[in-house]
Amino acid sequence: MNIFRLTGDLSHLAAIIILLLKIWKTRSCAGISGKSQLLFALVFTTRYLDLLTSFISLYNTTMKLIYIGCAYATVYLIYVKFKATYDGNHDTFRVEFLVVPVGGLAFLVNHDFSPLEILWTFSIYLESVSILPQLFMISKTGEAETITTHYLFFLGLYRALYLINWVWRFYFEGFFDMIAIVAGIVQTILYCDFFYLYVTKVLKGKKLSLPA
């Protein structure tokens, strides 16, 4: 494992922990898109079905279980424990416009036409757009809490580091995965505008806001 993948994993873990702590400490999920979190839970569930069929390493298995567990814990906090604080009026992105096309694409473009491979491919494509409901929600409310922007920053950083990881693996291992690379590029592009606002506003102590 190279340093870019490791730091990417740690950035991803940091994002998840930041979000969970934010919800738990404030006893509120205000400003958090439940739909994005449902999509992420679906992403991890379909991606890590190989836990039932193969063992790669203790690190690999542990991280997969953490991602799945944290994803469903977040969904539980939003839709059950702190449901009264969930802002469903602004979380209105039509996720079927993401899930259905992504499902169709996974059937058409994959490495191997087998159930596990199609589901893995589906998860890669879906993850690249899962943040859209959250960004859409921020655009509707016009602003985001600082802690929420930190969560989004580390989530975007994770994808950017994974892109570097793919480049590293291509040059030093000869490994090339077009599906993962293209999906990673799409996801990173979606974060570009947010990254700019994060650096120019949040890091300077200002509140992040997007045009409504």
Closest alpha carbon to 36 in 154, 140, 128: 128
Residue pLDDT, tens place only, 38-89: 999 999 999 999 999 999 999 999 999 999 999 999 999 999 999 999 999 9
Residue 207: inside a domain, yes or no?
no
Confidence (pLDDT) at 59:
94
Residue 176: inside a domain, yes or no?
yes
CA distances from 159 to 24, 41, 155 (A): 25, 17, 7
Say how many C-beta atoms besides its own lie within 10 A of residue 37's C-beta.
27
Most trustworthy range by pLDDT among 8-17, 148-157, 182-191 = 8-17
> What token pair was written down for 83?
């449901």
Residue 135: inside a domain, yes or no?
yes
Distance CA(167)–CA(181), nearest Å, equals 9
Closest alpha carbon to 145 in 29, 40, 38: 29
Q: Which domain holds residue 41?
A: 3-200
Residue 55: inside a domain, yes or no?
yes
Residue 211: inside a domain, yes or no?
no
Residue 78: inside a domain, yes or no?
yes
Domain count, the chain: 1
pTM flag (> 0.75): yes
> What token pair was written down for 35?
């739909």
Q: b vs e for 99-121, b when ≥16 Cβ sit within 10 Å of the residue's Cβ?
A: beebbeebeeebeeeeeeebbbb
